[in-house]
Structure 1
Amino acid sequence: MSHTAQADTSTVPASDTQERNRTSISRPMIGVGFLLVVLSYMVNAMDRQVFPPLLPNIRAEYGFSLEQGGLLATNFTLGMALAGLPAGYLLDRFRRKTVLLVSIVIYSLGTMATPLATGFADMTLYRVVSGFGEGMQSAAIFAAIGAFFAHRRGLAFGIIGVGYSVGVFIAPLIGVRLMSAHGTWHSPFYLFGTAGLLIAAAALFLVKTGLTEHSVEKSASTSTFEHMPASAYNRNTIALAVHSVVSGVAIYGFLGLYPTYLITSLHYTAEQAALAMSLLGFGGMSAVLGGWLGDRVNQRGLLIGSMLAVSAISVCIYQTQAGVGTQCVFAFLMGAFGLGFVYPNTNSAMQRSVRPEQIGRASGLFVTSYYGTAAFSGLLFAALVDAFGWSRAGLLQVTALPLLGVLALLFVRPARFNNAVR
């Protein structure tokens, strides 16, 4: 439904803004706004995942080493990590919609600038800037949607995760096809960057503040939270942050160099490697199931099982030298557990570990912990490959490391979640 004109509240504290903007919002507008949020996160994923399948061509053009290529494939997560905690601070004090729109513009411009790089240094800068915008957007989306769908947070995050997975699925296929059609790897970056700017323009008018500025305190007014720690940085959030660091390094190290592994070690064509990457994104669409389960079962147990699955699938990927068809099945399963189960449930568990008014900080902490060390995961993986070869490197970073995440999860106490039955 239409909204009357409102004064600019972009610099008004969030608590005041939420009260001021609690106008009614129709279900169709909720649907339209939520769809645009999902689409914006899909473009976010496309910007991230178009780089790895094009990396062999980028390395050939610039003469980058494997270590430099590995760092470029994942260093955008450094920008995401740098954005996490500041974004959490801003989200607790300013309009979430404002943070969301600014973030989309930042990462879209960073993506469009990537082909303009003259060397390693400025390409690194453009990737980090893009990641900074993506980190701001992630924190804004999950804070806003986590507040609006407080009682179905896992399912809502799972649907957003499907949007991300669709981006992971189509980005390699579109990117490689455009590169082949135009004879250059530049065009996909211009296309995806432009798509982000168009979505930001649409969101300015169609994503209503009734969706983004929802007050969690009001929706949770019948609940009490005396069983929870007063601080946002408590035993549960710290344990989940450690788990996030470990899973970020393992999963993003894998994502960043998986196409390079398929092309250089298993001698796949660029199209075959892009297909495997797309199947990985297709597997990530199980985020709806993963999020739905996270609302209904012991979330710590679900995360532990998912991390063990990631570890087992890694053995299959790096130790069996599988053919194209079998490798695509492994990629699908890695996407299902790594993107579809681990990501949304870690995110929602982090928000459930704090009191409702601290959701912005929890969202920022998740982004920083998950993406912080992931920025160097590609560099670490490349160094391990140079030292030990692909099989042992995969065993160390993608098989053994998730077990440390399982250990951290053992310290999580679901009884102290804000949705725990008292």
Structure 2
Amino acid sequence: MRSYTALFFLIMFMIGTDTFLISPLLPTLQAEFGVSTDAAGWMLGAYTLGSAIFALIAGPLSDGWNRRTVLLCGLLGFSLSTILCGFADSFWSMCLFRFLAGVSAAFTAPQVWASIPAVMPPAKISKTMGIAFSGLAAAQALGVPIGSWLAAAHWSVPFWAVGAASLLLNLIAFYALPDMKPASRERTSILGRYAPLVKSGKARSGLMAYLLLHLGSGTAFAFVGKWMADSFQLPIGRIGLVMMFLGFGTLLGSVISSSIIKKLGRANAAIAGMLLIIALYAIIPQLTNLPVITIGYLVIYTILGVLFPTVMEALTSLNASLRGTISSLANSTMNGANTLGAWVAGVIYVQFSGYSTIGIFTSVCLALSLVTFLFGGVLGKARKEGTESVSAS
């Protein structure tokens, strides 16, 4: 069982590393391909766009397939497309390969979440889910900075390293994972699986709030590397070091999340955390002391590390029978928001002369997200949530 836990952690670590890798490399790739600042954001957005679109299809479809086969094929495609990124010779070829990597990730990541209940005993499912999520956080803490340091040799090296490591994981998964065929042969259309969510006001408001949360945080993250390079003249290795603190914050938040929620309650933790980061996102771009800025972002990403799994738990608790579809829709919402955020960040950075307006935009998005969560009733008290669900009928 420990081998499954380690495998799922490492798969999510690789997907997380690849997802965030472009941000610290953005100044280097912009110069390499000779593109404008506002267009450069699409090298990040292409990945999230591919993932956002195909997650809507991958989740419902894979419920009727052998999850082992879907995971292996998705991970193989992810490995090869990431390796191809290292061979990109133009802006458009990089965007194409990043898009394909995002498509492959859309078929891989949901299978991790869906496979855990199939291969783990009930008593260990929750713990394994937490460890798998921490793989994403560890990717920010370790994977992205390591990738930045590898890029000091050449920008293509991180892509080759992530792709090669993912190929090795694919081989291990081939021998380690059992078949996970669907229990029922009943076929339900993709639209049929989404219909109960579309009809539910609580689900709609929850997903809208989730979109605003990621739109704000994704916009701020997309150009933080560019801001560090322009305002503080940091080389790519130093940018990676700052990114490490962001990742450690997310990792710390994911570790303490359950304790915080148990002590404060879901709604109180969300209100306190989001109010604090709304203020920090608005203030930090005005600062000029890099150590203080780094500490501020450490606090922000610690809070986000608490919020993200808390919100996901709230969304998936809306209907136990639709958790796979809800997870896929949430993943698509997240990546769609990050895609839009990358474009918005580029436009704002150019049109409004820097990072300060991005901070204000992020704060507004998070404030709207908090209001939507609260008025939509998604973040209620834990003892009431079991009786409030989205009807699957």
TM superposition score normalised by structure 1: 0.80
Matched, 1:370 2:327: no
Worse-matched range after superposition: 410-419 or 309-318: 410-419
Distance 1:37 1:397 in 2: 35
Correspondence for 2:32 among 52, 56, 61: 61
User: Which residue of structure 1 aligns with residue 177 of structure 2?
Assistant: 207
Alignment of 1:131-150 (within 5 A): 131-145=102-116
Q: Is the 8 A contact 1:170 1:278 kept in 2?
A: yes
User: Which residue of structure 1 aligns with residue 278 of structure 2?
Assistant: 311
Correspondence for 2:58 among 87, 93, 97: 87
Q: Is the 8 A contact 1:157 1:291 kept in 2?
A: no
> Match of 2:151, SS?
helix
User: Which residue of structure 2 aligns with residue 118 of structure 1?
Assistant: 89
User: Which residue of structure 2 aligns with residue 320 of structure 1?
Assistant: 287
Distance 1:319 1:83 in 2: 38
Q: Structure 1 pair 399/92, CA: closer, same or farther in 2 (3 Å)?
A: same
Listed one character per residue, the Cα deviations across residues 237-271 of structure 1 (whole Å, up to 9, x for unaligned) are 21221012112211222222111111112322322
Distance 1:102 1:298 in 2: 40
Matched, 1:408 2:372: yes
Q: Is the 8 A contact 1:154 1:291 kept in 2?
A: no
Listed one character per residue, the Cα deviations across residues 304-360 of structure 1 (whole Å, up to 9, x for unaligned) are 33332332221232122222x22221222222122x122222222221111x22111
Distance 1:137 1:117 in 2: 23
Q: Structure 1 pair 389/152, CA: closer, same or farther in 2 (3 Å)?
A: farther
Distance 2:355 2:234 in 1: 17
Distance 2:280 2:235 in 1: 22
Q: Structure 1 pair 213/406, CA: closer, same or farther in 2 (3 Å)?
A: farther
Distance 2:258 2:206 in 1: 17
Q: Structure 1 pair 178/392, CA: closer, same or farther in 2 (3 Å)?
A: closer
Distance 2:130 2:263 in 1: 13
Distance 1:52 1:149 in 2: 38
> Match of 2:86, SS?
helix
Alignment of 1:193-342 (within 5 A): 193-209=163-179, 231-233=196-198, 234-285=200-251, 286-291=253-258, 293-294=260-261, 298-323=265-290, 325-338=291-304, 340-342=305-307
AA in 2 matched with 1:172: V
Q: Structure 1 pair 157/334, CA: closer, same or farther in 2 (3 Å)?
A: farther
Listed one character per residue, the Cα deviations across residues 287-314 of structure 1 (whole Å, up to 9, x for unaligned) are 1222454577643443333332332221
Q: Structure 1 pair 90/268, CA: closer, same or farther in 2 (3 Å)?
A: same
Listed one character per residue, the Cα deviations across residues 132-160 of structure 1 (whole Å, up to 9, x for unaligned) are 12222222222333676878876544322
AA in 2 matched with 1:371: N
Distance 2:121 2:210 in 1: 23
AA in 1 matched with 2:329: L
User: Which residue of structure 2 aligns with residue 350 of structure 1?
Assistant: 315
AA in 1 matched with 2:289: A
> Match of 1:321, SS?
coil
Computed over aligned residues only, the root mean square deviation of the Cα atoms, in angstroms, reads: 2.8
Distance 1:415 1:48 in 2: 33
User: Which residue of structure 2 aligns with residue 359 of structure 1?
Assistant: 323
Correspondence for 2:143 among 171, 196, 201: 171
Q: Is the 8 A contact 1:71 1:377 kept in 2?
A: no
AA in 1 matched with 2:29: I
Report deviation, 1:90: 2.0
Q: Structure 1 pair 156/243, CA: closer, same or farther in 2 (3 Å)?
A: farther
Matched, 1:102 2:73: yes
Q: Is the 8 A contact 1:74 1:253 kept in 2?
A: no
AA in 1 matched with 2:338: A
Worse-matched range after superposition: 167-176 or 270-279: 167-176
Q: Is the 8 A contact 1:78 1:373 kept in 2?
A: no
Q: Structure 1 pair 417/83, CA: closer, same or farther in 2 (3 Å)?
A: farther
Distance 1:400 1:69 in 2: 24
Report deviation, 1:85: 1.6
Distance 2:160 2:264 in 1: 43
Worse-matched range after superposition: 310-319 or 155-164: 155-164
Q: Percent identity?
A: 21
Q: Is the 8 A contact 1:161 1:284 kept in 2?
A: no
Q: Is the 8 A contact 1:157 1:348 kept in 2?
A: no
Unaligned ranges ≥5, structure 1: 1-29, 216-229
Distance 1:91 1:297 in 2: 37
> Match of 2:95, SS?
helix
Unaligned ranges ≥5, structure 2: 184-194, 389-393
> Match of 1:255, SS?
helix
Matched, 1:397 2:351: no
Correspondence for 2:131 among 156, 159, 182: 159
Aligned length: 373
Q: Structure 1 pair 237/152, CA: closer, same or farther in 2 (3 Å)?
A: farther
Q: Structure 1 pair 246/146, CA: closer, same or farther in 2 (3 Å)?
A: farther
User: Which residue of structure 2 aligns with residue 27 of structure 1?
Assistant: none
> Match of 1:372, SS?
helix
Correspondence for 2:20 among 49, 57, 64: 49
TM superposition score normalised by structure 2: 0.86
> Match of 1:75, SS?
helix
